[in-house]
Structure 1
Amino acid sequence: MDFVNVPLLAAAALVFTSVLAGLFSARIGFSFLLVFLLAGIVAGEDGPGGLRFDNYVLVFWVGNVALAVILLDGGLRTTFATFRTGLKPAALLATLGVVISALLTGLAAMLLLGLDWATALLLGAIVGSTDAAAVFSLLTRSGVTLNERVATTLEIESGVNDPMAIYLTVACIGLITALAQGQAPGAEVLTTFVAQFGWGALMGLAGGWLMAALLRRIAARDAGGGILALLLMAGGLSVFAATGTLDGSGFLAAYLFGMIVANRAADETAPTLAAMDGYAWLAQAGMFLLLGLLVTPTDLLPALGPSLALAAVLIFVARPAAVWLCLWPFRFTRAETAFIAWVGLRGAVPIVLALFPLLAGVPQAQLLFNTAFVVVLVSLLLQGSTIGWVARRLGVALPDRDDTARARLAFGDFALDPRLPVDAICQFYGLTAPEPADARLDDWMATAIGRPPVVGDRVALGTATLFVRELDRSRITGIGLALAPEA
């Protein structure tokens, strides 16, 4: 039985050590996922473990399945109510934003790595999307509460931007192959786009609707949360795989499947969330450990400098430019835009996408893989470990209501009745009344905000500031006021 026990002991000990180290590292702000990745590197060929591992096909398979489980779990935690603030900006970031990031990063790759334009664009596509596993886990463990607009935009974006990155990656590989054969890319580029998003959306929505109907029929028959979670995971993976066989985006299908199930069968889904969280963490742990094992650190050294420079361009130029252009129509504040730009976390997705060129035999594929790995390391180390600090510095983190000093700064000193007319408030506090002066305070404030309000929004009223303290769906039900200090 040694052929079972020895590998099992090694794998279990590695996961146990990684989780334990992750629990301690999370206290000082380091990403759990970074610990798993580094544990794989330590156990690998250049580390003390000395394990030689180069099974790209296995990692590709595990990575795709793990990402499907993670996106399914993310979809199960997405409610339709969050769409009022996050859907439109997230959809633009997940499509146009990925394209802009890929183009700017590709341009930098031409200059820094000396790649031809097609290969450089392929590298930009590989690292162009944010990572659902990184965003979901790090936002949860950041120790801060974000306002609804920022949190939902980041979560929805990371959940639905993978299909665009995959499409761009596949399209670029097809372009490189066609150019190498002296052919011009044909209409298959457009048909691939339609198939990826069309089949992904159709299969995800239809599968989610059917699963929700099934759950409502069987949940009452003594089926506990654990067995229902297993049923959900199997159903989600079935939809993921079936969509892939139709050349659609299985990742989009898995996310939409979970979202539809969670919103159409909310009561039946709630008991499964704890078990699904365990499945998602197991998927993340296994995926990042294998990705770490796959990398040989000494292979990263020849192009380390240009790879670090490319990571800097992505983090400080490409991602901020894409976010600013995409969010400009939605009137996000400068602080919100800056924070969303900073949380452009790269994780397992770019590394998994970097396996595509390796498996397709694209020239310089190993350089693309090594560069993508360096970008992910930098992103997890720099961005992932500073999310909470940046949120507090930019003022997008909502304070704990028990923290009186910070709560007053975020929600004002005085509570006002939202039903009062604006002119009555202005007369009482000696402020200049705006037009229309007879409007209710909540209605006037919602108009002044100019977008779906969230808790923490603020509007100037003369020399005073009004704050959104409470919401009932889209209706402002609690307002705070702070007066400017006298000169």
Structure 2
Amino acid sequence: MHALQEAQPLVGSGFTPTDLARALLIGAAVLLVSVAAVRLANRSGLPTLLIYLGIGVAIGEAGLGITFSDPTLTQVLGYAALILILAEGGITTNWQTIKPAVLPAAILSTLGVLVSVGVVGVGAYLLLPNLSWQVSLLLGAIVSSTDAAAVFSVLRRVPLPPRLTSVLEAESGFNDAPVVLLVIALAQAGAPGGADNAWWVVVVEAVIELAGGAVIGLVLGYVLGRLMKSAAPGSSGLFSIGVLSVVVLAYAVADLAHTSGFIAAYLCALMLGNLHLPHFSAVRGFAQALGWLAQIGLFVLLGLLASPVRLIHQIWPAVVIGLVLLLLARPASVLLSMSWFGFSLREQAFLSWAGLRGAVPVVLATVPLTVGTPHTEWIFDLVFVLVVVFTLVQAPTLPRLAALLHIVDESHTVDLELEATPLEELNADVLQVRIGDASRLHGVAVHELRLPEGANVTLVVREGKGFVPQNRDVMRHGDRLLVVTTAGARGAAIRRIRSISKAGRLAGWRRDPQPAPDDDQAS
């Protein structure tokens, strides 16, 4: 006992079990409130990020009095959270769905970003007082990135045509990497003693870093994914940890190699998510759980860092820059990027309005503070206000705007996850089909769908009541169908449903006025 008492002073006492209990109490309470808030977000059509930011502000210095003012720690934890969010986005994205959208999304994430930065930079220089060109362009770069978490959460509730959904999802996954590189370059150039490189040097370095990160992510995802597939453990939980570890490894290797860690993480996750890994339902669920945890932690942390007193002074500048971004910069970037790929003006208008901002711009607003760029302390507050205000404006109006522009998918098809059913062992998929008000599936009998062998309509839900359909049962507007299909017949089943939804029961027997896409298009 005497020896133990003498040893006690050597043990650090900065964080005690009592402190741990308090931290766990606050953390668990925040998580429970955040989980409960998802229902409110689903009803309102708002991304959950606004509620989580509000929770952070509520428990911060103006609410419960928890003080937090460390931009460096915020940036580090923000990067960690973005890795998990990108991992979820990549793993849960079907390559066949986004394949036609990869090139348009890549152009929008590079050329479109540069256009947006330029327009916002000019607007900030002309409309905000006492700003240099360098700080104006830095502000334009910070707000130019769409947010994967915000886009994914809203698009799940908007029945869009697959190619629009694919472009938005791919763009939000791709554009973090170039924007991070651009923000860091501009912030370092404006810092005391920063390198004053020519613009073409910055562009070349960015291209090299993006290409290097892409190669690292794809190679690690493919090689390690194949190895894990051939030596998968019996435990789905352990396998899920291994898959997410590969994504984190890709980020770390790419970053230490001075290439883009974010593009490496996203492409690695995309590769892993499309290798037909065993235990994939468990992997997908684990990635989504970590993604939610990362979103909650990140947004609450950003809310803690914000000060309501400071935010008030940035409302008007945030509205000005937000209007420039929403009405000028985003439409210009979409017009110059998407016109080459056959997107109509109505589709481009929706893409312009759907460029949601979220955690990424707010995290990037801490970069000038950590780098030491002078006269940029206000940027965090302005970006925070901009994200909140324009998310409130844009997100709830997306379903209505899609309907006004007549781009709603009347036979919206989504994948369903049935965790209790061993779909992998059965080599099967389950799809949900919603028959919209203008769909020509209305009045078509089940047998007239002529689904491929291996696919069948197993349940119809009409006015809240479900029944197992017979071949001669007729489908109606507003019906929701469950289609069970083998993995091999999945793409053909989706194409058949889309074709009949557009051209009626005679689709396939005569020339369709609007032929269905050839690719597998479940959103």
TM-score, scaled to structure 1: 0.81
Aligned to 1:223: 235
Counterpart AA for 1:297: P
> Secondary structure of 2:274's partner?
helix
**CA shift at 1:256, angstroms?**
0.5
Alpha-carbon displacement from aligned partner over 1:87-114 (angstroms, at most 9, x marks no partner): 1111110100111111111111112222
The aligned residue for residue 285 of structure 1 is 296
1:298 to 291, 305, 309: 309
Confirm or deny: 8 A CA contact 1:399 1:406 kept in the other structure: yes
**Is 1:234 aligned to 2:266, yes or no?**
no
Q: Which residue of 1 aligns with 2:117?
A: 102
Alignment check: 8 A CA contact 1:411 1:469 kept: no
Q: Does structure 2 conserve the Cα–Cα contact (< 8 Å) formed by 1:167 and 1:192?
A: no
* Alpha-carbon distance between aligned partners in 2 of 1:98 and 1:148, rounded to the nearest angstrom: 23
Alignment of 1:51-450 (within 5 A): 51-114=66-129, 115-140=131-156, 142=157, 144-177=158-191, 185=198, 189-190=202-203, 192-219=205-232, 221-224=233-236, 226-400=237-411, 403=435, 405-408=437-440
> Take 2:322 and 2:442, find their aligned partners in 1: how far apart are those partners?
34
Following the alignment from structure 1 to structure 2, what is the Cα–Cα distance between the partners of residues 162 and 173? 16
C-alpha separation between the residues in 2 aligned to 1:183 and 1:55?
28
1:428-471 deviation digits (Å, cap 9, x = unpaired): xxxxxxxxxxxxxxxxxxxxxxxxxx86879xxxxxx9554755
Residues 1:409 and 1:248: Cα distance change in structure 2 (over 3 Å)? same
Q: CA deviation at 1:303?
A: 2.9
Contact 2:190/2:374 (<8 A) preserved? no
State the distance in 2 between where 1:89 and 1:16 align: 39
Output the CA distance in 1 between the equivalents of 2:204 and 2:293. 35
Q: Which amino acid aligns with 1:407?
A: S
* 1:451 aligned residue: none
Change (3 A) 1:98 1:190: closer
Shift of 1:358: 0.4
SS at match of 2:206: helix
User: How many Å separate the matches in 1 of 2:199 and 2:311?
Assistant: 36
Whole-Å Cα distance in 2 between the matches of residues 127 and 390 of structure 1?
23
Aligned-residue offset at 1:124? 0.3
Q: 1:84 to 1:205 in 2, by over 3 A?
A: closer
Amino acid at match of 1:278: A
Q: Structure 2 unaligned runs (5+)?
A: 1-16, 412-432, 451-497, 504-510
Aligned pair in 2 of structure 1 residues 305, 470: CA closer, same or farther (>3 Å)?
Answer: same
Alpha-carbon offset, residue 402 of structure 1: 5.9
Q: Percent identity?
A: 35
8 A Cα contact 1:23 1:32, kept in partner: no
Are 1:18 and 2:34 matched, yes or no?
Answer: yes
Distance 1:200 1:49 in 2: 42
Q: Which amino acid aligns with 2:369?
A: L
Structure 1: which 5+ residue stretches go unaligned? 418-453, 459-464, 476-487
SS in 2 for 1:407: coil
CA gap of 1:360–1:152, structure 2 versus 1, over 3 A, is same
Give the 3 Å change call, closer, same or farther, for CA 98–395 of structure 1 in structure 2.
same
How big is the shift at 1:267?
A: 4.6
Deviates more, 1:117-126 or 1:385-394: 385-394
Tell me if structure 2 keeps the 8 A contact 1:130–1:346.
yes
What letter corresponds to residue 148 of structure 1 in structure 2?
P
Q: Distance in 2 between matches of 1:407 and 1:91?
A: 32
2:45 aligned with 1:29: yes
**Alpha-carbon shift at residue 403 of structure 1 (Å):** 4.3
Task: Please say if residues 189 and 195 of structure 2, whose CA atoms lie closer than 8 Å, have aligned partners that are also in contact.
Answer: no
The superposition leaves residues 41-63 of structure 1 with CA deviations (integer Å, 9 ceiling, x where unpaired) of: 111112x2121111222211111
Q: Which amino acid aligns with 1:300?
A: L
The one-letter amino acid of 1:473's match is D
Separation of aligned partners in 2, 1:83 and 1:21: 30
Give the deviation of 1:355 after TM superposition. 0.9
Per the TM alignment, residue 275 of structure 1 is displaced from its structure 2 partner at its CA by 1.5
Larger helix proportion, structure 1 or 2?
Answer: 1
Q: In structure 2, do the counterparts of structure 1 residues 4 and 89 end up closer, same or farther at CA, with 3 Å as the change threshold?
A: same
Conservation of the 8 A alpha-carbon contact between 2:108 and 2:337: yes
In the comparison of the two structures, how many residue pairs are matched? 426
Two-structure CA RMSD over aligned residues (Å): 2.8
Check whether the contact 2:410–2:437 (CA below 8 A) recurs between aligned residues.
no
Partner Cα separation in structure 1 for residue 335 and residue 517 of structure 2: 27
Structure 1 range deviating more: 247-256 or 12-21: 12-21
Q: CA–CA distance in 1 between the matches of 2:133 and 2:436?
A: 55
Q: Is the 8 A contact 1:411 1:467 kept in 2?
A: no
Structure 1 residues 336-391: Cα deviation after superposition (integer angstroms, max 9, x where no partner): 11111111010011011111100011112211111111221123211122222222
Aligned partners of 1:176, 1:44: CA distance in 2, in Å?
A: 31
> SS in structure 1 opposite 2:314?
helix
2:78 maps to a residue whose letter is G
Aligned to 1:473: 519
Conserved 8 A contact 2:254-2:260: yes
Aligned-partner residue type, residue 45 of structure 2 = G
Q: Alpha carbons of 1:267 and 1:27: their partners in 2 closer, same or farther (altered >3 Å)?
A: same
Secondary structure of residue in 2 paired with 1:406? coil
Cα 1:165–1:27 shift into 2, 3 Å: same
Matches of 2:363 and 2:87 in 1, distance apart?
18
